[in-house]
């Protein structure tokens, strides 16, 4: 892999950003057909993306809003009068 063109890894990232020029894409694909090491590198990067995207969503704990309200500075007196 040390003899691979330096820009190949750069093209992998362009590809993963969905932002790759067609000419770079064809260079990348052609290269990966011949280079198992780069193909593996690319597969690992794709796996990272899938793993990170696959982490499930968490939600704020119960009582979160009340917790914020309790921490807010007191309302201005002028407003309380108007109510």
Partner 1 sequence: MDALINKRIQEVLKGDQTAFAEIVELYQDKLYRVCYRMLGNKQEAEDMAQEAFVRAYTNIHTFDTNRKFSTWLYRIGTNLCIDRIRKKKPDYYLDATVPGTDGLDMYSQLAASDERPEDEVVKMEMQERVQYEISRLPEKYRAVIVLKYMEDLPLQEISDILDMPLGTVKTRIHRGREALRKQLSSM
Q: Is residue 48 part of the contact set for partner 1 (CB under 8 A)?
A: yes
CA-to-CA separations, 30 to 15, 26, 45, 54, in angstroms, rounded: 14, 6, 18, 30
Q: Is residue 62 part of the contact set for partner 1 (CB under 8 A)?
A: no
Nearer to partner 1, 22 or 51 (CB): 51
The residues of the shown chain that bind partner 1, judged by CB under 8 A, are 9-10, 13, 16-17, 41, 44-45, 47-49, 51-61, 64-65, 67-69, 71-73, 75-76, 78-79
């Amino acid at each position: 892999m040390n003899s691979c063109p330096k820009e190949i890894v750069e093209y992998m990232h362009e590809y993963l950003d969905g932002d790759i020029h067609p000419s770079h894409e064809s260079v990348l694909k052609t290269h990966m057909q011949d280079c198992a090491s780069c193909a593996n590198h690319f597969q690992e990067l794709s796996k990272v993306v899938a793993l990170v995207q696959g982490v499930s969503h968490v939600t704020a704990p119960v009582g979160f809003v009340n917790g914020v309200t309790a921490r807010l500075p007191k309302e201005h007196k002028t407003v309380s009068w108007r109510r």
